[in-house]
Amino acid sequence: MQISGHPRVEIVVPAKNEENDLGPNIRRLREFLDTAFPFPAEVCIADSGSTDATYEVGTLLAAELPGVRIVRLEQPGRGRALKQAWSESTAEVLAYMDVDLSTNLNALLPLVAPLFAGHSDIAIGTRLSNGSRVVRRPMREFISRSYNLLLRATLSVHFSDAQCGFKAVRADVARELLPLIQDTSWFFDTELLVLAEKAGLRIHEVPVDWIDDLDSRVAIAKTVGEDLRGIARLTRDLGRGRTDLSPVRWAYGRPRILDPRTALAARVLRFCAIGVLSTAAYALLYLVLRQGMPAQVANLLALLITAVGNTALNRRITFGVTGVENRWRHQLRGLVTFGIGWSLTASSLWLLHTAVASPHQAVEVAVLTIANLAATVVRFSLFQAWVFNDDAPTLPTFEPPAVLDQTRSN
């Protein structure tokens, strides 16, 4: 029994060359919505570039079944189909599912209920939680888990399953996000979720029962290549501030609530990990440069090169500062902290060469490494309190003498 007067949900079913499966599965979906789903719901078949009779079958279904419509796109692409169908919809909640109905339809109500209630902004089915029941081939399981681990490592996301073909989004949120999504194919889902999470939106996850479609026509190798290129593009765009998420963040974002002690501990761990990487890079650079130049010069150049990289990594990873705004100011302040590190290491080298006429290079590296570690605490304190704190005072400025004289005369 459906709840009258309640906001509607529209379920988009992307289809390309599905003339055989489209009819039975759309009828099955429509029957479920009419008999077992409590909210008013419509179905939109999005035919994206089919070369068989998919559009004709879909047109007959739309004429036969109330609450079914069809849109036709000449170009293929699941993302393109979803973007157009969702943009044209007048429903309050927009969903989509794969045409094979691999996901058990009983998960549809838990998927959309948090969106109707306003608790969440996006909802996704997940095949990778403990509560999920999944039957699929080992290779697909391996690829799916590897892909989601890669997303976490490269884009620092927290949702568990980017690719499950069972998602829903509030229409008002979709209107803000859809213009920002560039991909028109399989990476569309991932880009939607990454942008939503980066904007501070709440993503609700529903464990699903899911059975692999043995007749799936997804070209795995091609899709993997497209996904890897999409990850690289998205990482680059977000890192350079090319995607402006501030309107979405201000309208719908929910800031994360962190225990200050936990946040500080996590920040220290990230800073230390980058410090270890920078120290190793510094030692390697020093050994290479030392082959053709004096110790002090090699030390200065190795420190300068690693300082720039260290500041950039800490800016992005440790302190979560993205975009190009104030980037050069942060690098300039980072060079001031570099000066502290350089003074410590230069003094250590001077003391070593004063005590030992011709120390072994291994001893030089050991002394310099200890000096670098000694500067780490000071560097972290400056990074947190000053380098990446745009509210901190800038370097002192001085007025020209003429201005000072005029000020005194006034």
Residues 41, 76: contact at Cβ < 8 Å? no
d(CA 325, CA 240): 9
Residue 298: both structure tokens together = 């090699």
Lookup result for tokens 């890897």: 228
Residues 198, 160: contact at Cβ < 8 Å? no
Instruction: Answer whether 0.75 is exceeded by the pTM.
Output: no
d(CA 126, CA 209): 9
Q: Dihedral through CA 39, CA 40, CA 44, CA 45, nearest 10?
A: 70
Q: Can you name the residues that pair with 166 across neighbouring β-strands?
A: 97
CA atoms within 13 A of residue 382's CA, in its CB half-sphere: 20
d(CA 173, CA 197): 12
Per-chain mean pLDDT for the chain: 86
Collapsing DSSP to helix, strand or coil, 170 comes out as strand
Per-residue pLDDT of the chain (410 residues; tens, 9 = 90+): 455 457 899 999 999 999 999 999 999 999 999 999 999 999 999 999 999 999 999 999 999 999 999 999 999 999 999 999 999 999 999 999 999 999 999 999 999 999 999 999 999 999 998 889 988 888 888 888 899 999 988 888 999 999 899 999 999 999 999 999 999 999 999 999 999 999 999 999 999 999 887 665 566 778 888 999 999 999 888 888 888 898 999 999 887 665 666 777 888 888 888 888 888 898 899 899 989 899 889 888 888 898 889 898 888 888 878 777 788 888 888 888 878 777 887 888 888 888 887 888 788 888 877 887 777 777 888 888 888 876 655 544 334 444 334 433 44
